[in-house]
Structure 1
Amino acid sequence: MRLAACLVLLPSLLSAQQIEFDISPTADCAAGDGGMACVGLAANSCMESSPGGYSTNGMSICTELELDWWDERLNRNYQLMRERARAFDADTADYAPPQEEALKEMQRAWIPFRDAKCEFVATEWGAGTGAGPATIWCLMDETARQALYLEERSRN
């Protein structure tokens, strides 16, 4: 009975203090224009180097930490695109449709798409405990994809 109780409590005992997360693998790859090949490098490294990193909780924490980094990158790139779109709109107001509004609509449409896609990914796990980490991984992957898309567009 004690062993069963310990096994049930084990994932909750893994805390963020035990997680060894370093964004460098992902950040270094992204700085070298590695694109989507960079996604998950820091999360995987975290899982490998952290005690309990391959537990459901460990995978979720490691992946969420990298997701946060990609989300910050997405927001930064989105703001750059908004500034660029605003300048484009000012220069082309007489003859082109507003770009800033189109950018906002694209981003607003992307968010529910990302969420629905990741909800679908969770269903592939049925009632299994892998649904949580799979959902977070999907969110990270889709957020990175959008961040990289916006970054590429802001360079053109």
Structure 2
Amino acid sequence: MKPAFAFSAAFMALFALPAVAQEPKANCKNPQTQMEMNICSQRDYETADKALNAQYQTTRKAMRKWDADSSADLKGAEDALVKAQRAWVVYRDAQCISSGFQAHGGSMEPMLISGCQADLTRKRIAELKELTEAMGN
């Protein structure tokens, strides 16, 4: 009876495996359904987030250079940036969850959240660029 049980368990485990994740297709130039709007909004946020990460590294490098070129009593630019960025991420996420409550529990809530995240992220990119330029880079 054990071999039958082993086959049955293996058969059940095969069907319990999650399906290979495949991103749904969405026409982001002209989304027509809420699902497409949600997907496109999420993609927009992901694009903005990648740009933010690149700009953050550039700004952090500028702050590191500032610290290296400064006397001991003027160092701390990089640490201040890291602290500010961590606080900003917490703010962004909380603010956007709050914004999502306009359609809480509804199908457009994800779009509101990711749209907010994309918007705030682009604003943060501009702030980091300004800071980098102000630091002489």
Q: TM-score, normalised by structure 1?
A: 0.66
Residues 111-151 of structure 1: per-residue CA shift (max 9 Å, x gap): 11001001101112233222111111111111111112112
1:15 matched to which residue of 2? 24
- Identity of counterpart residues, as a percentage? 27
Within 5 A, what are the aligned runs for 1:1-156?
Answer: 15-16=24-25, 19-21=26-28, 46=29, 48=30, 53-156=31-134
Tell me how far apart the structure 1 counterparts of residues 66 and 113 of structure 2 sit (CA, whole Å).
Answer: 37
Larger Rg: 2
Tell me how far apart the structure 2 counterparts of residues 106 and 55 of structure 1 sit (CA, whole Å).
Answer: 38
The answer for unaligned runs of 5 or more in structure 1 is: 1-13, 22-45
Report how many residues are paired. 112
1:20 to 1:123, Cα distance in 2 relative to 1, 3 A: closer
Q: Does the residue aligned with 1:150 lie in a helix, a strand or coil?
A: helix
Which portions of structure 1, spanning 4 or more consecutive aligned residues, are displaced by more than 4 angstroms? Answer: none
The answer for unaligned runs of 5 or more in structure 2 is: 1-22
Tell me how far apart the structure 1 counterparts of residues 83 and 32 of structure 2 sit (CA, whole Å).
Answer: 38
Q: What displacement does 1:15 show?
A: 2.2
Q: How much is the aligned-residue C-alpha RMSD, in angstroms?
A: 1.7
Q: TM-score, normalised by structure 2?
A: 0.74
Q: What displacement does 1:152 show?
A: 2.2
* Paired residue type of 1:145: K
Tell me how far apart the structure 2 counterparts of residues 73 and 152 of structure 1 sit (CA, whole Å).
Answer: 15
1:112 to 1:84, Cα distance in 2 relative to 1, 3 A: same
